[in-house]
Amino acid sequence: MGTENTRTIAVDYLARVEGEGALYVKVRGDHVVDVELRIFEPPRFFEAFLRGRSWLEAPDIAARICGICPVAYQMSAVHAMERIAGVEVGGHLRELRRLLYCGEWIESHVLHIFLLHAPDFLGYPDAMQMAADHKSIVEKGLELKKHGNAIVNLLGGREVHPINVKVGGFYKLPDQYSMRELEDQIKRARDLALDTVRWTSSLEFPGLEIDHELVCNGKAGEYPMNEGRIVSSAGLDIAVDSYDENFIEEQVEHSNALQSRVKGRGAYLTGPLARFNLNFELLHEPVKQAAREAGVVASRNPFQSIVIRALEVFYACEEALRILRDYDAGLPPAVDVDARAGTGYACTEAPRGILYQRFSTDAQGQVTDAKIVPPTSQNQLAIEQDLGALVPQHLDKTDDELTHLCEQAIRNYDPCISCATHFLKLELDRGPADA
């Protein structure tokens, strides 16, 4: 479409992204002069919605923000509330929360790998058409996801939006027999996960190396999932309650959502690529070995995030089995926690990156203030920078091919834009070369 010197590509929806948003890329000659990821929905609606609610119901409300990563929203909220109460939940309850998180990582990563991102690599417009030719791959993904769902279902009370989690622990713990059955199921999932690592590593990856500052949880002595300090590849090492002093959210003209930056530095990347690169040594040995065989140790290519997600699924299975082996149904399901006035901070690793929450409550436990920074809004600038580097390398492609490549690059981040927006419309403006 357009005149001889001007071409504009518009795609009504960027499919296979969990939610909706818009992207504008302006190209002049061989140069990308502007990349704007636009977000339309007022992202802070839920923060207002949480004010005035009981501190005990806030985690369940926060979990409703996303149907793909509700555990992350719930976990950040319960941790923040427990910090207000001055309670640290440790021992078996800490382990079981980690198990719940394993379930969510499997659910979310597998959905993305098999149904959202794989069609890009195999040359299909969507998973339905891919399934016609690659039935066994899709069946494998659905089975693996089912095993992840089983963890969340057993421990959380249902497969999505868990109802068994509360401030202080759980309402009820599963019986020993159910957990043994789950262990058998996750052994099967572990085999499927390793197959997935091998399969994803055989895909063809566009070349792209971006030296983003990588940010994740860390320094907790374990692969980051639901606790830790906030660390980065540029030397950042802060307690979670210093988040607001080190990160800034800014309103930009083209988006209603706030964009995050590291103060004094700018864009950063959070999610599997950051966790993997900064914490490789904390992975279980079989996972490290699989990574070596896959050839992705210390990868900075965002397109290889599909392999790293598969490795994290493999890790989540190994970790779930470790926790399940030591399970004792006779231990108490929760610790007592009392309301008090204060402010609590928490940051956990949602499948797509760090999820920061800050809550303030009064002495009766009523929420007086809430701040939620989802990972997708933190990755927006990194996505824009990836596209700014990628597009000039592929200007010889047709508009359709380039549009598809941009979509694939955005999906590298598995953006959960439903946390912050309505739809993603892609517009590629090549304009006249002399403009």
Partner 1 sequence: MLGIGQAMRGDDAAGIEALRWLRDRYPELDCEELTGDPAALLNAFANADHVVVLDCVAAKPGDTQPRVIDGLRQGLSAGQGASTHAFSLREAIELGRALGRLPERLTIFGIPGHDFELGASMSTDTCAALARLTELFPKWRQQHA
Q: With binding defined as CB under 8 A, does residue 35 bind partner 1?
A: no
**d(C-alpha 37, C-alpha 260), whole Å:** 13
| Selection from 17, 123, 2 nearest residue 425 by Cα | 17
User: How many residues line the site for partner 1 (CB under 8 A)?
Assistant: 39
Stretch 103-142: interaction string toward partner 1, x if CB under 8 A: ----x---x---xx---------xxxx-xx--x--xx--x
CB of 225 to partner 1, least distance (A): 21
Binding characters for partner 1, 151-170, by CB under 8 A (x = yes): -------xxxx---------
User: Residue 302 Cβ, how far from partner 1 at the closest point, in Å?
Assistant: 20
Taking phi first (over 0 means left), then psi (-120 to 50 degrees means alpha), and beta for anything else, what does residue 276 get? alpha
Supply the minimum distance, in Å, between the C-beta of residue 312 and partner 1: 18
128: burial class by Cβ within 10 Å (0-12, 13-18, 19+)? exposed
Which two three-digit tokens encode residue 155? Answer: 């421990």
Binding mask 67-96 for partner 1 (x = CB under 8 A): xx----------------------------
CB of 235 to partner 1, least distance (A): 37
State both tokens at 92.
């078996």
Strand, coil or helix: what is 428? strand
Q: Determine if 64 is a binding residue for partner 1 (CB under 8 A).
A: yes
> What is the CB-side half-sphere exposure of residue 435 using CA atoms within 13 A?
16
CB of 148 to partner 1, least distance (A): 9
| One-letter amino acid for residue 22 of the chain | A
Closest to partner 1 by CB, 12 or 326: 12
**Of the candidates 9, 22, 27, 65, which one interacts with partner 1 according to CB under 8 A?**
65
CB of 102 to partner 1, least distance (A): 17
CA angle 334, 340, 343 (to 5 degrees): 100
| Closest distance to partner 1 from the beta carbon of 164 (Å) | 15
- 171 touches partner 1 by CB under 8 A: no
At position 174, the amino acid (one-letter code) is P
* Residue ranges of E strands in 144-300: 165-166, 169-170, 213-218, 229-232, 237-238, 247-251, 258-262, 268-270
Contact 200, 109 (CB under 8 A): no
One residue of 39, 383, 418, 426 binding partner 1 per CB under 8 A:
418
Residue among 45 and 171 whose Cβ is closer to partner 1 = 45
Give yes or no for a contact between 186 and 106, defined as CB atoms under 8 angstroms apart: no
Separation of alpha carbons 176 and 182, rounded Å: 10
Closest CA to 84 of 48, 55, 53, 49: 55
Nearest distance in Å: CB 422, partner 1: 9
Alpha helices in 8-117 (DSSP H): 45-50, 58-63, 70-85, 91-110
Nearer to partner 1, 23 or 127 (CB): 127
- d(C-alpha 94, C-alpha 101), whole Å: 11
Of 58, 287, 118, nearest to 193 by C-alpha is: 287
Nearer to partner 1, 32 or 115 (CB): 115
If one asks whether residue 19 binds partner 1 (CB under 8 A), the answer comes out as yes
Give the CA radius of gyration of the chain.
21
Question: What's the farthest any 2 CA atoms get from each other in the chain?
Answer: 74
Window 206 to 225, contacts with partner 1 (CB under 8 A) = none
**Distance (Å, whole) CA 292 – CA 401:** 32
Please state, in angstroms and rounded to a whole number, the distance separating the CA atoms of residues 387 and 159. Answer: 35
Nearer to partner 1, 24 or 49 (CB): 49
The residue among 380 and 418 lying less far from partner 1, judged by its C-beta, is 418
Which position among 17, 214, 230, 391 is part of the footprint of partner 1 (CB under 8 A)?
17
Helix (H, G, I), strand (E, B) or coil at 435: coil
CA–CA separation, 39 and 218 (whole Å): 30
Among residues 68 and 274, whose Cβ is nearest to partner 1?
68
Q: In the window 41-60, what residues touch partner 1 (CB under 8 A)? A: 41, 45-46, 48-49
In the complex, what is the shortest distance from the CB of residue 378 to partner 1, in angstroms, rounded to a whole number? 19
Provide the minimum distance between the beta carbon of 117 and partner 1 in the complex, in angstroms, as a whole number: 12
Q: How far is the CB of 37 from partner 1 (least distance, A)?
A: 16
Q: Which is nearer to partner 1, 41 or 227 (CB)?
A: 41
Place of tokens 């501190």: 55
State which of positions 344-383 bind partner 1 (CB under 8 A): none
Shortest distance in whole angstroms from residue 49 CB to partner 1: 4
Residues forming contacts to partner 1 in the complex (CB under 8 A) are 13, 15-20, 41, 45-46, 48-49, 61, 64-65, 67-68, 107, 111, 115-116, 126-129, 131-132, 135, 138-139, 142, 145-146, 149, 158-161, 418
